[in-house]
Structure 1
Amino acid sequence: MSRHSPDLNLALRLPVSASPLRHRIAEAIVEQVRLGRLGPGDALPSTRTLAADLAVSRSSVVDAYDELVAAGYVVARPGSGTRIAEGADSAATAGAASHVPTTAAVTASAHPPRRPPPTWDLTPGHPDASLVSTTDWRRAWRAAAAAPVQFTPPGPGGHAELRLALAGHLRRTRGIVADPDDLVIVPGVASALRAITVAAGLAGRDVAFEEPGYVDARRALQMSGARTRSVEVDGDGLDPRSLLETDAAVYCTPAHQYPLGARLPAPRRARLVEWGAATGRLLIEDDYDGEFRYDVSALPALRSLDGGRECVTYIGTASKVLTPSLRLAWMLPPRALRDPVSEALALSGETACAVTGLAFARFIESGALTRHLARASRTYSARRTALVTALRRHGTGVRLDGVEAGLHLVLRLPDGCDDDAIAAALSRRGITVPPLSAYLADRGTSRGLVCGYARLPETQADTVAAVIADVVRRHLCRPDS
């Protein structure tokens, strides 16, 4: 007597799609199970018979059966043929597929249509990565790839080449004399803030924080347990006279206050460092875009002032210099906090990629970073001038702040204006720009638009300014504005 069940004629109908033939055959069999025409224990036709019925190659049927076996829909045993597995009916009813849908199918069925990208993206904090020399970039990465493979993550004490290169860069560009051993490489500013919060014991204590200020930095401090106390800034940035005895630390952006753009004057810088050194309080200096300034001389970093080495934690980043995709930042804590910072990072496991760090070191050592900064500064200066000129040409009487440095400016609006509504109206007209109120912890009365110009071509500045001016004018003319 035959050991095999007689071959069945399933009369399968293969779905019409761009999927490979094996997937379509498997889908058709699963559909038969879902409809109840096949059940657990039922035998499938031989691969030869089904191939003939479908007028396809036998190999495609074999591949489909293998797929169903791997998915648990069928069981193939020598001498017993291929049979529907126990539980296959429940899986089919639940909609479990025998394979991962193709990219095209996922795009078409699983994801809703995406909104088209903005015509002009003025989101601040994003440099123009297209300005980076591809020749220098590739050369740096080839050099990093040629280095021996590291078997362990670099950790807080790693990145020796990058720390040495950065020490020279900081001396040349920011006037900071630093021992490479005192520099700590981290995968971002937030990582640096988390580490310094732990190292300095800031959890549960007040940290004076600029208002308006950098939202991500405020969030990083708060999530680490610190209490951020909002200190309103004026046209010159943070005023040291607004600090309290209860403040354990101060977070500030003296090179280009974020987002208003003020440059902290030298007298305030000196008083701030004197306060930190005299009281033993910590100053956290976020120098996020200190390399870019226009028509003004450079002011010394807080860290470079007398007493700064004892009370200032300096933080810099590659995000504004080259691209945020590098995920590289560096911090220079006071010598007394160097080991506690390293311990905090070791416990958290946060570390920057060794290959990325080595590539950036080669980029600095070769002089490519110096050339890039010179080229980028010229370009950003021209784009800033084009946007400022265009906004003033189409102006509605609003003030422009923060035009002397950095990669963004602030278009100030009268108090009481709804800058959220203006930003939403601009979005509908193809311009992405955040409202100033988004940077306020207490959603105070300050209103404006924070316009990043690093990625705005000079030829587009007049068009963008005309749209901004039109939208602002329409909102200012409303009786309820």
Structure 2
Amino acid sequence: MTGIPPLVLDRGAGVPLSVQLADALRVAAAEGSLRPGDRLPSTRELAGALRVSRTVTAAAYDQLLAEGWAGGRRGVGTFVLGAAPTSPVAPVSPARPGAAVPALVDLRAGSPCLEVLDRAAWRRGWRAAGDLPADLRPDAAGDPGFRTAVSEHLLRHRGLVAGPDDVLATAGTSAAVGEVASTLAPGSRVAVEDPGYQRVVGALRDAGAEVVPVPVDADGLVVDALPSRLAAVYCTPAHQYPLGRRMSAARRVALVARARAEGWWVLEDDYDGELRYDVAPLPLLGALGSDVVVHLGTTSKIVSPTLGVGWLVAPEPLRDDLLARRVATGTRPARAGQRVLTALAQSGDLARHLRRLRRELVARRDEVRAAVAAAGCTAEGDPAGAHVLVPLADAVVEAEVIARAARRGIALDGLGRHHLAGSGSHRSGLVLGFAAPTREELRGALAVLGDVLRERPGNDRGPALPEEDGPAVPA
């Protein structure tokens, strides 16, 4: 095979030969043995050289074509593309749930959609931030322009009335939760959703709080299940993470009423509240109970974690306590990201970005739901945000699906890891994100995901068996 490095396939490895072949070709590209523009052998030629069925080589090429790593030119051949991935996937053993996966395409939730981010607007924002003079002294509350921009953003996009003085800049949601927890007495009990956001659980425990899991159903956090003697409750009412449901109006009213009656804070994480696709969102908890609710937002999911900024709207007593602690310890969120977001908001680029983002994500969501349905599964969750939930039968099936996808270059996240240990509740499934890849990468990944779901243990439909000679890749 002229120009192709030696390729070794292990017939006893338990990994399909086509997967091994695709992995080996990616590794060859990463190591420089294959370069953009190189012509690959025909499927028939490669099959003969490796002494495998042409079905194996055709399936491997199909996978690389779907990922955008290779491209076929009719009548000419199949070539390595210039946009080859920089971090190809090497053959891996079955992954443990929650383990780091060297993924080519990331279908885990929690990343922004950078494909719709206007690079020119991004550069303008940073230039505008750089035109401002450097700070002489720190400001514990945050950049005044940022606080004004956030108050206007909240009013326009979330219906929350809050003046600039009500807003504190933060380093993101988890950091803000940790700050609030540091104002509580050591060992204070804080209730969190189960399943829920584990980084917040870590921030709470790091601050010395006792974390208490509370179940979630189709209407959100089960308020009646909240125990007594709480100091705070953390929740994601606009789009529960990771189940993807919104808290009902009745639950919102009940939660605020209990907070007032029992004297604890409600930490409202509105991490992607701007991304709703069907009807207007329900009133924020912050609008229903400004005296007991701490409203939290972040730029990480709607723009980029590069900015490293978020915001907090809190009742005055708590706000004063947080400011005093920042002054005493010298801690404060960095100003650069605040100034960039301010510039994006003032120029109108942020509003335009959000409109593009909503259009893109709703289209992606439709593609994901269709692919999951075609594989005999369901995609649950409200029409909002950038992830859906795909329920699976049990933890064994969840682990197997994640492992098989990893072997084919797709990173998936299991629902199991989002439960607190010892909580007594456990659901299995995939928390399926669709914002991180490019649109082309997503479509290729969905084709692979569909195969993996059809092949999942216990699925009566099972995968379709290919013909011995298989479809040929143009060569």
Bin for the TM-score computed over the shorter chain: 0.7 to 0.9
CA RMSD across the alignment:
2.0
| SS of equivalent to 2:455 | helix
Deviation at 1:457, TM superposition (A): 4.4
1:197 and 2:176 aligned? no
Q: Is the 8 A contact 1:207 1:228 kept in 2?
A: yes
The CA deviation at 1:114 is: 8.5
Give the letter for the 2:123 counterpart.
R
Alignment of 1:263-412 (within 5 A): 263-305=246-288, 308-395=289-376, 398-412=377-391
1:238 aligns with 2:221: yes
Q: Aligned pair 1:455/2:440, yes or no?
A: no
Shift of 1:372: 0.5
**1:237 and 1:202, CA in 2 relative to 1: closer, same or farther beyond 3 A?**
farther
In the alignment, the residues of structure 1 paired with residue 459 and residue 248 of structure 2 have an alpha-carbon distance, to the nearest angstrom, of: 39
8 Å Cα contact 1:401/1:410 also seen in 2: yes
Structure 1 residue aligned with 2:114, among 126, 129, 134?
Answer: 129
- Look up the match of 1:219: 202
- How far apart in 2 are the matches of 1:391 and 1:362? 40
- Of all paired residues, the percent bearing the same amino acid is 37
Unaligned runs of 5+ in 2: 1-86, 91-101, 461-475
- Unaligned runs of 5+ residues in structure 1 are 1-112
Residues 218-227 or 140-149, more deviating: 140-149
Shift of 1:460: 5.0
CA distance in 1, matches of 2:257, 2:150: 27
Contact 1:249 1:283 in 2 (8 A): yes
Whole-angstrom distance in 2 between the partners of 1:478 and 1:359: 49
> CA offset at residue 158 of structure 1?
3.2
Q: Please state whether the residue corresponding to 1:399 is helix, strand or coil.
A: coil
1:391–1:462 CA contact under 8 A, matched in 2: no
Cα deviation for residue 474 of structure 1 reads: 3.1
**Deviation of 1:478 (Å):** 8.2
Displacement, 1:421? 3.0
Label 1:278 to 1:120 Cα distance change in 2 as closer, same or farther (>3 A).
Answer: same
Q: Which amino acid aligns with 1:205?
A: S
Q: Who is 1:426 aligned against?
A: 405
Tell me the distance in 2 between the aligned counterparts of 1:391 and 1:478: 14
Instruction: Report if the CA contact (8 A) 1:383-1:456 is conserved.
Output: no
CA contact (8 A) 1:191 1:350 kept: no
The residue that corresponds to 1:81 in the other structure is none
Q: State the one-letter code of the partner of 2:142.
A: G
Q: What amino acid is the match of 2:131?
A: A
CA contact (8 A) 2:299 2:307 kept: yes
For 1:176 and 1:298, locate their aligned partners in 2 and report how far apart those are by CA, in whole Å.
12
CA contact (8 A) 1:387 1:458 kept: no
What CA distance in whole angstroms lies between the structure 1 residues aligned with 2:370 and 2:436?
17
Deviation at 1:168, TM superposition (A): 0.6
Q: Deviations over 1:264-283 (max 9, x none)?
A: 11111111111112222110
Letter in 2 for 1:253: T
Q: Does residue 232 of structure 2 align to residue 249 of structure 1?
A: yes
Cα 1:232–1:202 change in 2 (3 A) is farther
> Could you give the per-residue CA deviations for residues 345-371 of structure 1, whole angstroms, max 9, x where no partner exists?
334433222232112111111111111
TM-superposed deviation, 1:471: 2.5
Counterpart of 1:435? Answer: 414
Q: Distance in 2 between matches of 1:253 and 1:202?
A: 24
CA distance in 1, matches of 2:228, 2:347: 47
Provide the C-alpha distance between the structure 2 equivalents of 1:268 and 1:447, rounded to a whole number of angstroms.
Answer: 25
| Cα distance between partner residues in 2 of 1:394 and 1:121 | 19
State the shift of 1:260 in Å: 0.6
Partner of 1:475: 456
Q: Could you tell me whether the CA contact under 8 Å between 2:259 and 2:292 is conserved in 1?
A: yes
Deviations 1:424-444 (A, max 9, x none): 221111110111101111274
Task: Tell me by how many angstroms 1:139 deviates.
Answer: 1.8
The corresponding residue for 2:145 is: 161
Q: TM-score, normalised by structure 2?
A: 0.72
Structure 1 residue 138: Cα displacement: 1.8
CA distance in 2, matches of 1:202, 1:233: 27
Residue number in structure 1 paired with 2:163: 179
Q: 1:242 to 1:166 in 2, by over 3 A?
A: same
